[in-house]
Structure 1
Amino acid sequence: MEQSRHAPTKPRFPTSVYRHGSEPDVRFSFANERTFLAWIRTALALIAGGVALEAFGLNLESHLRTTASLVLIAAGVVLPGHAWFAWARSERALRRAEPLPSPFLSAPLGVTVMVVGILIALGVLLR
């Protein structure tokens, strides 16, 4: 007896994503997942950078170094939430055959990294 390729499946998590539309091409779902993981790696790098900035005790003006460190760590803490919601928004759009939504945290993240760079530069200049 031949098994069906489309056996009944258990409900998938999160249902707020998977109850919409139909299964997209798996390559697009995998690409969406890789993007999610890239955001997670970025968050880890931001946290590690913030910790390293303080842990190595670089010869920078201490208030600016601490502020830059806290900004990096805060950005790293916020980013996984963004990654999850961006993944869900994109996966729903794929399932509905709609255009992908634009990322809403890319510009603020770029500005955050720019601000940290300025804080570090000022810390070097004012030491």
Structure 2
Amino acid sequence: MSAVPSASWWSRKLVLVTGGAGFLGSRVVAGLRARGADDISVPRSKTHDLRDAAVCTEVTRNANVVIHLAANVGGIGYNRAYPGTLFYDNLMMGANLLEAAQRAGVQKFVGIGTVCSYPKFTPVPFRE
């Protein structure tokens, strides 16, 4: 059995990709399309605040698969200036989406953590 679902698996499935217009998300959406997914929903933050549980209920309503990539990020300086806001926003988006997906009967949920996770005492510039 292949680790990547076949095109037939993706047919007739609504795939919700939060953060689907971002750097990683746009590539995930392209990869999904290349693998046969033709019904992909990409909610935008300007119209869908995923920190709001009601919004998460709305966007997951008919979804079969949720790929959660959306995050409030901004780099080391932004992380240092707003650590509480970033933690809260990302926690609420993930928790609300997971709960809404479970209630909606979503078949698969993939959650990706933020790319901006650094040690407490991070030197600037940071070498990875």
**Normalising by the residue count of structure 2, what TM-score does the alignment of the two structures yield?**
0.32
Of Structure 1 and Structure 2, which has the larger fraction of its residues in strand? 2
User: Greater Rg, structure 1 or structure 2?
Assistant: 1
Of Structure 1 and Structure 2, which has the larger fraction of its residues in helix? 1
Tell me: higher relative CO, structure 1 or 2? Use CA pairs within 8 A at least 6 residues apart.
Answer: 1
